[in-house]
Amino acid sequence: NLPITQIAALDSSQFAITVANKEINVQTSYTFNIRIGLPLPMGSSIKLTFPSSITPASSGLVVTGETNLNSAITSAYDSATRILTLTNLIITSSAYVDEGYYIQFKVNLVTNPSNTK
């Protein structure tokens, strides 16, 4: 088997983000609901870039797979690039997520912006 590398950027019609608590400067969870534009096989990863106004925890960050994903997602956050990398999304080769399906995951311990501007 050859490794497959594809990069897909999402436009706003392909995802929705729900914030559990919208108060400023509060630590909360963010739920991401994404329509997959390419098949998502075992070994896939997802990278999220956070804006500078939203701060994921530097340690103890917990990502939970919900719809069509492994519940024990592995995550690594790079505070220099502000990129959260999610791996261990699919746990068996027969459990891939096909193009057009939705995935959902929750990122806990994220601090909201300090203002609404």
Question: Residue 94 above 80 pLDDT?
Answer: no
- Distance of alpha carbon 60 from alpha carbon 51, whole angstroms: 20
CATH number of the domain at 79, please. Answer: 2.60.40
- Distance of alpha carbon 61 from alpha carbon 73, whole angstroms: 11
At 2, the pLDDT band (50, 70, 90 cuts) reads very low
Share of residues in the chain with pLDDT > 70 (%): 91
| Structural domain contains residue 79 | yes
Share of residues in the chain with pLDDT > 90 (%): 38
| Structural domain contains residue 64 | yes
| Structural domain contains residue 117 | no
| Structural domain contains residue 95 | yes
| Structural domain contains residue 26 | yes
Provide the pairing of β-strand 55-56 with 63-67.
unpaired
Phi, psi of 34 (to 5 degrees): -125, 135
| Structural domain contains residue 44 | yes
| Structural domain contains residue 4 | no
| Structural domain contains residue 68 | yes
Please name every residue paired with 43 in a beta bridge, in sequence order, or none if there are none. Answer: none
Q: How many domains does the chain have?
A: 1
The model's pLDDT over 50-82, given as tens digits with 9 standing for 90+, comes to 999 998 987 777 888 888 888 888 999 999 999
Q: For residue 104, give its domain range.
A: 12-111
